[in-house]
Amino acid sequence: MIVMKFGGTSVEDARAMNNVIDIIKREQARQPIVVISAIAGATNTLLKAASMSLEGQLDEAHARLNRLLERHVTIAENLIDDRATIQQLIMSFKRRFEELKNLCQGIALLGEHTTRSLDAIASVGERLSSLILAEALEQRGIPVELVDARSFIITSDQFTAATPLLEHIEVKIKEILPPIVQSGKIPVTQGFIGSTLKGVTSTLGRGGSDYTASIIGSTLGAQEIQIWTDVDGVLTADPRIVPQAQTLEVISFREASELAYFGAKVLHPSTILPAVEKKIPVIVLNSKKPDRGGTRIIANPPHSALSVKSIASKKGITVINIQSSRMLMAYGFLEMIFSIFNKYKTPVDLVSTSEVAVSLTIDNPTHLEQIVIELETAADVSVLTEKAIICAIGESLRSTGGVANRIFRALGDINVLMISQGASEINMSLVIEEEDIDEAVRRLHAEFFERKSA
């Protein structure tokens, strides 16, 4: 048994849905369970309609909903031949959109929306996309059963970011999904959505479909979980900076987690944790190019000959240098510094310390001014903006000598402002000027991936 999850861009139009159907067909013998996202942009549109209703722009909210309804109708019409089935689908869509308009009306009248109503609205995206896909598979002669994820993804009532209640989920999943698979049908279900113990619709938070797939796969001990997106997997660098970047065949969960900070547009590692803990491989694949192998993310991959697996970068970094002679041989200084960042809910990313100074980076400068004012009561503070982080990531980094030397040699005349070797020892991060970042990524990529000795 395998789990196949298709993201929004994989089902954005009839053509994409057709690709998905072909991909599912190829895997039919492996007893797939299919998890699907809303069509690309649908969740955003639904939530936007809710916020416009709140601001009293009900007409504009309705216009957006109508356009979304049209997109679903177009997909159904271009995907399915049977007229009666199309009519039935359109009727179901219209019913859902009537409900949506009522919910929006309620928000406009009350002048408030609850997180509970937002989840009711957002859930419609997945409910519609799954309806279309299940119908289209059926029409192609593939036996399927549409299963409402709200019958087994039982969650807390923290609407918009509900916690899955795994002990309840396990019972339900085992009760509902295996009999369908054993009867020779493919269960098609929605990612992202669930329901509380009282049966109220909830969601697992944005991007939550990967989480649904991972929960199903780990509960049923799937052979693998396929996450179908619109990228080839995890690459050796950002292809917009390095066009010759290559897809990595396998990476560790820890490498994937490090890369996620740098916005690797693949998946959020915490969502695949249930699968990784059960040692179920998660494979990231491109539904637009299904014959590419993708990237396998596994708990403990075999030792790699590559000392560095990927070069990641992030712009918009602010460096804060904090200097105080009071720090010398004293304790409690770091705690004092971090309590200020905590107070302003500002995550600190890189930290580098000496006896009398601490340098750290943040990527969200919203509260920078207040933070600096408070830090200045205890230390000398200087702030450097428009910096960037470049990071070499790889499990073998800690066991391979000379990597730092190669990094600095390759960077050549590019000025390094701060160095931090992560506690995990699988990344080495450097802060440089933002304007140098693309060139730095190209130089490191050339050093580690484009030379024979790499």
What residues are paired with 250 via a beta bridge? 296
Angle at which helices 58-79 and 14-26 cross, to 10°: 50
* Part in contact with ligand ASP (CB under 6 A); list of ranges 17-25, 52-60, 202-210, 296-304: 202-210
- Asked if residues 2 and 224 have their Cβ atoms less than 8 Å apart, the reply is yes
- Exactly one of 191, 274, 281, 294 binds ligand ASP (CB under 6 A); which one? 191
Whichever of 134 and 311 has its CB closer to ligand ASP, that residue is: 134
User: 80 phi and psi, to 5 degrees?
Assistant: -120, 135
In 3D space, the residue among 306, 365, 316, 356 whose CA is nearest the CA of residue 334 turns out to be 356
Cβ closest to ligand ASP, residue 250 vs residue 283: 283
| Pair of tokens at residue 328 | 């010398």
Q: Which of 164, 187, 194, 208 binds ligand ASP (CB under 6 A)?
A: 208
Interacting residue with ligand ASP among 8, 217, 233, 274 (CB under 6 A): 8
| Candidate segments 92-100, 205-213, 314-322, 383-391, binder of ligand ASP by CB under 6 A | 205-213
Binding map of ligand ASP across residues 22-61, x = CB under 6 A, - = no contact = ---------------xx----x------------------
CA-derived radius of gyration, the chain: 25
Task: Fill in the per-residue mask, 150 to 189: x = in contact with ligand ASP (CB under 6 A), - = not in contact.
Answer: ----------------------------------------
Alpha carbon distance 218, 238 (integer Å): 30
> Of all helices (H) and strands (E), which one includes residue 419?
strand 416-421
Structure tokens at 245: 């970047």
With H, G, I as helix, E, B as strand and everything else as coil, classify residue 386.
strand
Task: Dump strand ranges (E) for 165-309.
Answer: 186-190, 193-196, 201-203, 224-229, 250-252, 282-286, 295-298
* Smaller CB separation from ligand ASP, 37 or 304: 37
Enter the tokens of residue 304: 């790699």
Exactly one of 130, 209, 304, 307 binds ligand ASP (CB under 6 A); which one? 209
Q: Is 192 in the site for ligand ASP (CB under 6 A)?
A: yes
Site string for ligand ASP, 116-155 (x = CB under 6 A): ---------x------------------------------
Distance of CA 275 to the CA centre of its chain: 15
> Is residue 228 close enough to count as binding ligand ASP by CB under 6 A?
no
The first and second tokens of residue 194, run together, are: 């669930």
Residue count, binding to ligand ASP (CB under 6 A): 12
Q: Are 390 and 313 in contact (CB under 8 A)?
A: yes
Give the interface segment with ligand ASP, choosing from 70-78, 200-208, 381-389, 408-416 (CB under 6 A): 200-208
Tell me if 194 contacts ligand ASP by CB under 6 A: no
| Chain residues in the site for ligand ASP (CB under 6 A) | 7-8, 37-38, 43, 125, 191-192, 206-209
